[in-house]
Amino acid sequence: MGSIASLLHVGLSQFLWIAFGFLVVLTVLVFVHELGHYLIARYTGVRVVVFSIGFGPELFGWNDRSGTRWKFSVLPLGGYVRMFGDSDPSSVLPAAETAEMTEAERAVSLFHKKLGQRAAIVVGGPLANFLFAIVVMAVIFATNGQPYTPAEISQILSGSAAERAGLQVGDLITAIDGNPVDRFEDVRRFVELGAGAPMTIVVMRKGELVTLSATPSIEDTNGRHAAQLGVRGGGAIKYIRRSPATAIFYAVGETWNLSTGTLEAVWQIVTQKRSADELGGPLRIAQMSGEVVKVGVVPLLWFMAVLSINLGLINLFPVPVLDGGHLLFYAAEAIRGKPLGQKAQEYGFRIGLALVLTLMAFVTWNDLLHVWRS
């Protein structure tokens, strides 16, 4: 009985950490994203009716001086900003009474703003996610330091792709497929993005540059398939503190690298060069949130920054329901000189919703398999 009680205690404790971490991470990122929409909407003179963290019935909230209802809702899986004149939180179609608005109401209605202003409001959400990531990374680089490991090989695993390619202990990797390598973290990133394809590696060996060809193997690591070269870096991870100005510079660079890397990985999944098993959803995010929140503040902030970048990118995909879908409609409006018809937007919204729900079901299934395997 004692061992069962102990097991239940550990299970409950782990669940509480996961729930706490997930709520912290998701609440902050949703708030940042929706705040981007809100601030640009207010700047362009649009009245914001509701700013909600979560969906469904309201738990609690308050009204500000401008008439916006700030609230927390029952389902904490997202959030929305509803603007004056919206038919619903998706902001796809104007409310039926839009045509009967007074001049004063038209002045604060989203659908009576110029096309560029409406597009700016949509872009505000993803932009806020990228800016949040840059600020968080800059703070980490300026205080805790930027992680840096020399790209010198200290160990080559037996039977690995590195051994077959002729890499040697002491080699300093300087480039992979024409991409400069400054630290061992770059090696990991380029190898993973290569998805097992042959790559050209340039190393500095005894003062001379040597060019080699290697084909990383795809291996299963904790239920995740990833390309492995089979080398280990030389020395422990160092943390280089940057000045405020250079911290921002490196943070912008890191955000760019993570963004392009993520897009390339998604394209590899679409073209089946990479396994779709790597896609994760809410359950995996919750599990990872619970793990990093126990490790410390810096890992938690880093995780939030990376997740914020992913959230910004995903929302820019041209799928109705997402911000990118709104931009797609606005692009069509710019070309046609008038908005798409109500039927076209409604069908687009339904197709987009079906795609998003299908993807959510798929990544949740992946999450369940991941939990089962681990």
Of 34, 192, 254, 278, the catalytic one is 34
58 is catalytic: no
Whole-angstrom distance, CA of residue 185 vs CA of residue 182: 8
CB neighbours of 365 closer than 8 A, spacing ≥ 6? none
CB neighbours of 244 closer than 8 A, spacing ≥ 6? 138, 142
Whole-angstrom distance, CA of residue 219 vs CA of residue 366: 18
CB neighbours of 139 closer than 8 A, spacing ≥ 6? 247, 301
Whole-angstrom distance, CA of residue 47 vs CA of residue 53: 18
Q: Which spans in 144-214 are helix H?
A: 161-165, 184-194
Burial class (CB in 10 A: 0-12, 13-18, 19+), 245: exposed
Which helix (H) or strand (E) is 326 found in, with range?
helix 323-336
CB neighbours of 175 closer than 8 A, spacing ≥ 6? 181, 200, 201, 202
Radius of gyration of the chain (CA): 24
Catalytic residues: 34
